[in-house]
Chains A and B, each alone.
Chain A
Amino acid sequence: KAGVTQTPRYLIKTRGQQVTLSCSPISGHRSVSWYQQTPGQGLQFLFEYFSETQRNKGNFPGRFSGRQFSNSRSEMNVSTLELGDSALYLCASSLGFRAGRATDTQYFGPGTRLTVL
């Protein structure tokens, strides 16, 4: 089974621009979560989607948004980029929670390295 794929792998943008990152989950997985990883703040949760609905959201400004499509693929968008948005953006997929499946394992993709100049 193919793993989680993220595109593009590397991206360079300038302040004020916007960016869209893509994530394709493992086949059959319906839940997709996004995380931001920086040396200073570590791994921080952005949001989680399940069956095209946002189920959880982290403490990030409204410039960060996402969506999930009917095939479970997900995109996240960052508008009006700031220097501090430079980070590794990670996507994780899982089967999705049903009653009794509290140990649903999340599998991470390789990430998209975003550099904001």
Chain B
Amino acid sequence: QQQVKQSPQSLIVQKGGIPIINCAYENTAFDYFPWYQQFPGKGPALLIAIRPDVSEKKEGRFTISFNKSAKQFSLHIMDSQPGDSATYFCAARRSHTGKLIFGQGTTLQVKP
């Protein structure tokens, strides 16, 4: 019940494409869902986050879609660029705790 399942494990797209990364969870007590981006040798950096009372959130080229009934959420990267090549992690957290449960990560490569 504490797991967050992320897919795909890796993804290759052409520049300008729209990679989509999916995550699923089981614990309905989760109420905060962030996405982190990590470059080699760096710590994860927060990209965008959503709460379950919202079905979609956009920040720049990044969009989270949230389906509460299916307990799934996904990250879309619009007009992807080679600089977006990184590992992306979804995560979930219960209210008022600092414990993030991470998905296994997706390695994205954007080809020029």
Contact = CB atoms under 8 A, between A and B. Distances in A.
Partners in one complex: yes
Interface of A: 4, 31, 33, 35, 42-45, 48, 50, 55-56, 58, 90, 92, 94, 96-97, 102-111
B46 interface: yes
Q: Classify chain B: how many residues form its interface, as a range.
A: 20 to 34
A55 B104 contact: no
Contacts of A96: 98
Nearest to B97: A56
Contacts, number: 68
B95 A102 contact: yes
Nearest to A9: B41
A102 B99 CA distance: 12
A97 B98 contact: yes
A115 to B, nearest CB: 15
A64 to B, nearest CB: 15
Given A43-B89, A103-B32, A56 B44 contact: no
A7 B47 CA distance: 25
A110 B41 contact: yes
B43 A45 contact: no
Contacts of B95: 102
Contacts of B89: 42-43
A58 B99 contact: yes
B46 A94 contact: no
B45 interface: yes
Contacts of B42: 110
B79 interface: no
Interface in B29-76: 31-32, 34, 36, 41-46, 49, 51
